[in-house]
Structure 1
Amino acid sequence: MKKVVLLLVAFAFLFSSDYESIYLKSGANAVIKEIEKNILSDEFWTKKLQNLDVRYGYYDSKMLLNVVAKESKKLELFEYLNGVLTLKFTSDVLVGKKGDKLVEGDLKTPIGVYQLTRRFTPNDPYLGPLAFSLSYPNLYDKLNKRTGSGIWIHGLPLNGERDNDVTKGCVVMENDILIQYDKLIDYTKSLAIVYEDDIKYASKDDIGLLFAEIFRWKKAWQENDINAYLAFYDKNFKRYDGLELDKFASSKRAIFSKNEQKTIIFSDFVISPYPNSSIKDMFRISFYEDYKALNYKFQGIKTLYVKLENKKMKILIEE
């Protein structure tokens, strides 16, 4: 609890209201309540984001964003650092067929958000001098029963011969350009955001609302307010293991009924708009979670796939 108080007090000095006067008049708990009121407010977060470029999301740490537009066959590499987007590289690319990738062999480049998982030299010279693998299928794909694998960013055949300009689902660029790209990329700090056609930018209002909703969700969780907590989950929600909402809710009701005290801290946010053809205003959110209760502790990355609907965050998938 002491750590939480110190974090909140530090937060107060960063985004100061007249917290000193509140402290002198009413004590530390009154300061904490004032800070909590701020972080649960859409307006607070929108104001905090006002000088940041969040077109492709919000990132607490440096991130390299590979923005791929399938229709225009273009890859742009942006560096995101402290709210500033800097274009580092651009290239024409070859991609697969139009539409969402659904099954193995449909020759479509998947639409969505993917991590770059490794850099390697392909065994087949047809795939060029080097490649970067993408994390397709991600959890959203898997729970939607999408199949396939081996989606890469790679080069052209080393012998210069290629029989068509449509890939089997990969993103392909000229070999000399790929070598330039390799000098700029750090795959451990990179995401690929793949769009079908027109790129729909995230807005400060959307990112601000997501921050407020995440902390409202955390508050309900920490206070064992089961009804408020479950209100954040979409009717079609699935947990990482496929558990659906009714069974998930029953499990959480049993846990919350114990009314255990718990401490939950979120940090290192990664919030990305999630391109897709079926859900409007969808986002992938990950963060570091430090959870402590009497009988359970967890420290690690939590990932949510969410949508915004009627100014509310609805959790579609949780990992």
Structure 2
Amino acid sequence: MALLPWNATAVNQDALTARLFVQNKNTNAVERMLVQTLEAIKEGRLQQALDYVNQLLTISPNFALAHLIHGDLLSAKTRILHGFGDVNAADVTRIQDFKDEAETRIRNYFDRNRGLTQPNLLVELSEKQNHVLFVDTARSRLYVYEKSQRDTLKYVADYYVTIGKNGTGKKDQGDKRTPIGVYFAARKLNRPLPDLYGDAAYPLNYPNEIDSYERKTGSGIWIHGTPRDTYSRPPRASDGCVVLSNPDVQALQNILQTGGTPVVIGVNFQWVGADALKQQAQTKAELSNALESWRRDWVSQNTDAYLSHYTRDFFYSEGDLAKWSSYKRQIQAAKPKVSINLADISMFTYPNAKQNMVVVDFEQEYISPALRNVMKKRQYWVQENGQWKILYEGSA
């Protein structure tokens, strides 16, 4: 009975020598069984591998990668195979897609078993937010974290995802790239959708304010599922959306159905422990102080001090800093007595940005003799010469 040549072609040797069966409640059964199958193949236990993959196909009958492995195992009973997917070697591109998916899933399986901390990003969830999703496009992985005690984040689960055919850094309509940034997922689309989108679709707010300012085009970037006859797609196969298997989309339903779930999409997050996150706590304190100083200077009607919180590159929906300054000086010339209260504050580091940037959302209550207004506001803060300044401000 021939040994399938997975050792050299489909999986990383170092990964398969790692400790295999580290169990925890979040381990994905499909990936665990896939790794069990490949480990059995690596060790020449082909009948046991066949038993594993049969079990895998019982719970995921539309898992194409598992079908390919099953075909290889059956063929190995009668002939020597010369490569992964040798049963259908003519479709070279498709076979490479399967290899990429296998390698990605296995790598992340062992990464998970090492114990996940969290990305080295400032993340402060508001009182109304319980979860944040991190999409690491380099790993083809979506990580779920929930708010824990003392406003820390606790790892919940992680899932394999497909991203854009042409990778990341979306700029133009139809470029088949996944955007990088901080986004917020809307509630599930209730209108009928083509089978391509699977069991559910949750739109992201691409283009966000920074995307629009940078003149990025396109729309319709969603988190969604797969067609009914497809368990999963290759790591790079979407038109820019973040695609999960239908069971995984269903697993996220309770989190996403609330609407407004933050989704941070980046490349090669740095995963750090609690000690390294102390720096983020310091950044949060500095930014919180800057936000409070901005609020106080607004209340005091000290226009020069108030405007000093804005960067020279500041923009908003109506124009630039010059127009904003003129507007504010006109309003504050009469020195009206105002009360401004901020609540429900959230903060998210903008990943892979050219400069240190944080998205800050809050509920703003503005009270003057003539007006009382409560609105959801969004600001983008950047570090400029060691100080935090506002790059953008508008409604959220």
TM-score band (shorter)? 0.7 to 0.9
Residue of structure 2 in register with 1:198 after alignment: 269
Give the one of 313, 321, 324 matched to 1:245.
321
Secondary structure of 1:188's counterpart equals coil
Matched, 1:58 2:129: no
Residue of structure 2 in register with 1:27 after alignment: none
Deviation at 1:102, TM superposition (A): 1.3
Distance 1:195 1:142 in 2: 18
The CA deviation string for residues 249-277 of structure 1, in whole angstroms up to 9 with x for no partner, is 11111222211111111111011111244
Matched, 1:315 2:390: yes
Change (3 A) 1:293 1:197: same
Deviation at 1:73, TM superposition (A): 0.9
Distance 1:288 1:244 in 2: 23
Distance 1:277 1:217 in 2: 24
Residue of structure 2 in register with 1:113 after alignment: 182
TM-score with structure 2 setting the length:
0.62
Distance 2:315 2:260 in 1: 28
Matched, 1:95 2:172: no
Matched, 1:141 2:216: no
The CA deviation string for residues 61-115 of structure 1, in whole angstroms up to 9 with x for no partner, is 1421010011111100111245131222201111113342111111111111111
* Aligned pairs, number: 265
Residue of structure 1 in register with 2:312 after alignment: 235
Give the conservation status (yes or no) of the 8 Å contact 1:113–1:192. yes
Distance 2:358 2:367 in 1: 27
Distance 1:56 1:159 in 2: 40
TM-score with structure 1 setting the length:
0.77
Give the conservation status (yes or no) of the 8 Å contact 1:64–1:185. no
The CA deviation string for residues 193-220 of structure 1, in whole angstroms up to 9 with x for no partner, is 1112234877111111110000111111
Give the one of 374, 380, 384 matched to 1:299.
374
Distance 1:315 1:105 in 2: 32
Give the conservation status (yes or no) of the 8 Å contact 1:63–1:189. no
Distance 1:293 1:161 in 2: 56
Change (3 A) 1:199 1:296: farther
Residue of structure 1 in register with 2:73 after alignment: none
Residue of structure 2 in register with 1:219 after alignment: 296
Give the one of 328, 334, 348 matched to 1:258.
334
Change (3 A) 1:163 1:179: closer
Give the one of 230, 235, 249 matched to 1:178.
249
Secondary structure of 1:129's counterpart equals coil
Deviation at 1:236, TM superposition (A): 1.1
Change (3 A) 1:147 1:199: farther
Give the structure with the higher percent strand: 1
Distance 1:66 1:266 in 2: 25
Residue of structure 2 in register with 1:132 after alignment: 202
Q: Partner letter of residue 84 of structure 1?
A: T
Secondary structure of 1:203's counterpart equals helix
Give the conservation status (yes or no) of the 8 Å contact 1:98–1:196. no
Residue of structure 1 in register with 2:143 after alignment: 76
CA RMSD, 1 decimal: 2.3
Residue of structure 2 in register with 1:152 after alignment: 222
Change (3 A) 1:161 1:267: closer
Q: Partner letter of residue 246 of structure 2?
A: N
Relative contact order, higher structure (CA 8 A, sep 6+): 1
Secondary structure of 2:306's counterpart equals helix
Distance 1:199 1:275 in 2: 10
Give the conservation status (yes or no) of the 8 Å contact 1:143–1:242. no
Give the conservation status (yes or no) of the 8 Å contact 1:307–1:315. yes
Secondary structure of 1:91's counterpart equals strand
Q: Partner letter of residue 177 of structure 1?
A: D
